[in-house]
A and B are shown apart, each in its own frame.
Chain A
C-alpha cells in the first residue's frame, strides 16, 4: 500500500537523516571555526565505531549488565574526542597558519591515510560487531510495520545533539567565543580571545561528534576498515548541501538527503547514490553556499 510505503520512507529517511546529521554536524562545525575541511573526520568516525565495538565487547565479555553498553558507546566517542582531536589540532592543524584551505584538506587527507592503517594494525581487518545495544532495545510496532527501537532512538539522539549544539553555540560563553572566531579570527585574537584554545576545543567537539556517529552506528553495522572512506564523502555531500560551516544547514541537509536517498531506495533503487551526488552538484552550481546558506564573499 502506498501510505505504508510512504510511512516506511519517512521513518527510514528520518533514521538515515539522523545518522547523516550526527556524522556531518562535526565536519561542518569544524570548517566554520577552523576553515579546514577535515577529511580525517571519517577516521574519527571509524575510531568511534571500533572503540565502541571494543568497549561493548568488554562489557558483554565481563558479563556486565547490557544497560552499560550505552554509556560505553558514549565513552568511546569521548575517548576519541578527548585524545585524538586535541592532539591533531595542536600538533598538525596549528602549523597550517596562513596556508590555503586546500593545503589543510591535503593535510587531513594524510591523517586519514595514516589512521586507515593504524586502525588495521590495532583491530585487524576482520569485521567487528557490537550488536548488544541494538538487540537490547527490542522492537516496536507502528501500524502494520515493525521497527527496531534502536534506529528510532537514533533519531531522538540526533535531535538531542542538535538542540545541545544549538544551545552550546548560541547560549554559552564558549558559543560566543566561537562566533567571534568564526566571524574574524584576527580581530578576535587582537581582542584577547585565545583563538588557539577555542580552535582546539571546537576541533575536539567536532571529533567527538564524528566518533559519536561511529559509536552509535556500530551496533547497526559490521565494523570494517573502509567505513571511514565511505562516510566522509557522503558527509561532504551533506555539509555542502547544508552550507559549509552551517550546523543548522547540516541538520536540514541531512534530512533532505536522508529522505531523498530513502525514497530512491524504495522507488528507484539504482538512483539512490546518484541522486545524492546530483543534489550535491546542483547545490554547488546554483547555491554554492548551501541550500540554506547566504552568499558572503564575492565569487571571482
Chain B
C-alpha cells in the first residue's frame, strides 16, 4: 500500500515538474530554473561534505563554468548551449583535476582556506583584467541556441527551465549512483575513520581526489547553466560570499540525501525572493539565525528534520543511505 502511495506521489511530482512552465507564473519558473542550476553546485559542495570537507571556494567552479559560456560567445561567437555546457564541464574537470592534486592532501580548516585562496585568485583575475573579462561590469551572455535551434524570446524561459531540469536530474542520478558506490562509501569512510580507510588498503587521497573531480564538474555545470539562465556573468560569482551561500544551502538541506541540495536551493531562492522584498535588511540576519539554529539544534538540516518526522510516524530499524 505504501508503495502505491509512493508511486503516486512520485508520479505527481514528475507531472508537476513537466508541467511547471504552464502551471507556474514566469517569475516563479525562473526561480525554479535557477534553483535547479544552483542546486548542482550545492550538490558539488555536498559530496565533499560526505568526507567531512567543506569547500568555501566552490565559487571558483561556479564562475569558471559561467565565464566559459560567456567567453565562448564573446571570443568565438559560439552561442550553442550544448557546446557551452560541454566546454564548462571539460574545463572544470581539468581545473578540478589540477587543483584536486593539492586539495586532496588537506583537511578541515586548511582545506577550507586553500579552496578560498584558489577562488579568490580567480576573482582577482576576473575583476582586474577588464579587457578580457569585463571587470566589475561582467559580460553579457546572449540567448543561446539549443542543439542548433534558435529560441524565441517567448520560449526562452521554458526551454531554459527544461535544460536546467535535465541537468539537474542527470546530476542527481550521478550523485545517487556515487552515494551507493564503493567510492561514495569510502568518502564517508574518510570522515568516519581515516585510519581504517588506509588500513583497508584504500587511499584517502585518491578517494577525496575522485570525489573532488566530480564536485568541480558539478560546480562548473551549475555555473554555466546559471549564465545561460540569467544572461549575464560578473566577478562576484567567484567571491567568497557566493561560495558561502552554497555552503549555507548545503547545510540547510543536510547531508542525508542527494535530493536535499535541490530542495534546499528551491526553498532558499523562494524565501529570498519574498524576504528581500518584505524587509531587505533582515534577510541575512535570518540566514545567520537559521544557520545558528542548524548548528546547535538541527545539525542534519532539513533532511534530518524530515527523517525525524518520518521516523516518528513509522520507526525504522536499519540504516540506509536514502535517496
Segment from B156-164, B256-264, B288-296, B302-310 that makes contact with A = B288-296
Query: Are the CB atoms of A103 and B295 closer together than 8 Å?
Result: yes
In chain B between 228 and 258, which residues have their CB closer than 8 angstroms to a CB of chain A?
A: 240-241, 244, 247, 251
A95 to B295, CA, bound (A): 10
**Does A87 interact with chain B (Cβ within 8 Å)?**
no
A103 to B102, CA, bound (A): 23
Task: Name the residue on B nearest A233 (C-beta).
Answer: B240
Q: A109-B291, A229-B241, A270-B128 are in contact. Are A95 and B296 (CB under 8 A)?
A: yes
In chain A between 89 and 108, which residues have their CB closer than 8 angstroms to a CB of chain B?
A: 92, 95, 100-103, 105-107
**Does B109 interact with chain A (Cβ within 8 Å)?**
yes
Neighbour of B109 across the interface among A105, A121, A280, CB < 8 A: A105
CB contacts (< 8 Å) of A106 on chain B: these are: 54, 247, 251, 291, 295
Chain A's nearest CB lies how many Å from the CB of B290? 8
Number of B residues, CB within 8 Å of A: 42
In chain A between 173 and 189, which residues have their CB closer than 8 angstroms to a CB of chain B?
A: none
Query: Are the CB atoms of A102 and B288 closer together than 8 Å?
Result: no
Query: Are the CB atoms of B116 and A236 closer together than 8 Å?
Result: yes
Query: Are the CB atoms of B112 and A274 closer together than 8 Å?
Result: no
Chain B proximity mask over A101-133: 1 for CB below 8 Å, otherwise 0: 111011101111111111011000000000000
Most chain A Cβ neighbours within 10 Å, of B117, B129, B281: B117
Segment from A12-20, A22-30, A142-150, A281-289 that makes contact with B = A281-289
Query: Are the CB atoms of B114 and A92 closer together than 8 Å?
Result: no
Query: Are the CB atoms of A105 and B112 closer together than 8 Å?
Result: yes
Q: A233-B240, A270-B128, A277-B124 are in contact. Are A117 and B281 (CB under 8 A)?
A: yes
Task: Name the residue on B nearest A115 (C-beta).
Answer: B288
**Does B118 interact with chain A (Cβ within 8 Å)?**
yes
Query: Are the CB atoms of A113 and B105 closer together than 8 Å?
Result: no
Q: A106-B251, A229-B241, A281-B117 are in contact. Are A113 and B291 (CB under 8 A)?
A: yes
CB contacts (< 8 Å) of A280 on chain B: these are: 113, 117, 120
**Does A271 interact with chain B (Cβ within 8 Å)?**
yes
Chain B's nearest CB lies how many Å from the CB of A111? 6
A: residues with CB less than 8 A from B are 37, 92, 95, 100-103, 105-107, 109-118, 120-121, 229, 233, 236-237, 240, 244, 269-274, 276-278, 280-281, 284-285, 288, 299-300
B: residues with CB less than 8 A from A are 52, 54, 102, 105-110, 112-114, 116-118, 120-121, 123-125, 127-129, 194, 204, 240-241, 244, 247, 251, 281-285, 287-289, 291-292, 295-296
